[in-house]
Amino acid sequence: MMPSQASTSNDLAAMIEHLPDLVNGDAALVRRGRTLTVDVLIEIGAAPYYLSIAAGRIARIERGPLLTRSWSFAIRGSEHAWRQFWLPMPPPHFHDLFALAKRGEFRIEGDFYPLMSNLLYFKDVLSAPRRLAGEAH
């Protein structure tokens, strides 16, 4: 991996690793997810991240791959797609999970029930790093 690729990968890792602070510090978001306890896989390029959500709070993030780690559903996308999604003002077709899936940039797999029954929660959780990108500019 070239140095510029490593630094951009590290930036993305830092963004997802800030999710517990961003989510758990948002009382309205935690309240919205208060009935949700689930394990989710978020894949950024080749890097898998396992999110354990308990009562709307992100209890733990583990970077993988972890071969025996289970998850209910996965959202997988390229580094480029996540970088565009996390811009403070994403370009057209990069603003929404399902727009990215329709475009072929994201793959959503597994049990759709926890995702769809808590869709606004997950959209807000996964877009929370946009606040970090906005602070950097």
pTM tops 0.75, yes or no: yes
| Residue 8 domain-assigned (yes or no) | yes
Output the domain CATH number for residue 85.
3.30.1050.10
| 3-state SS class at 131 | helix
Torsion of CA 72, 31, 122, 22, to 10 degrees: -110
CA 6 vs. chain centroid, Å, equals: 19
| Residue 133 domain-assigned (yes or no) | no
| Residue 135 domain-assigned (yes or no) | no
Whole-number pLDDT of residue 102: 96
Tens of pLDDT, residue by residue over 120-131, are 999 999 999 998
Q: Which domain holds residue 32?
A: 3-128
Tens of pLDDT, residue by residue over 61-71, are 999 888 889 99
User: What's the mean per-residue pLDDT of the chain?
Assistant: 90
79 token code pair: 């580094």
Tens of pLDDT, residue by residue over 25-54, are 999 999 999 999 999 999 999 999 999 999
| Residue 136 domain-assigned (yes or no) | no
- Count of domains forming the chain: 1
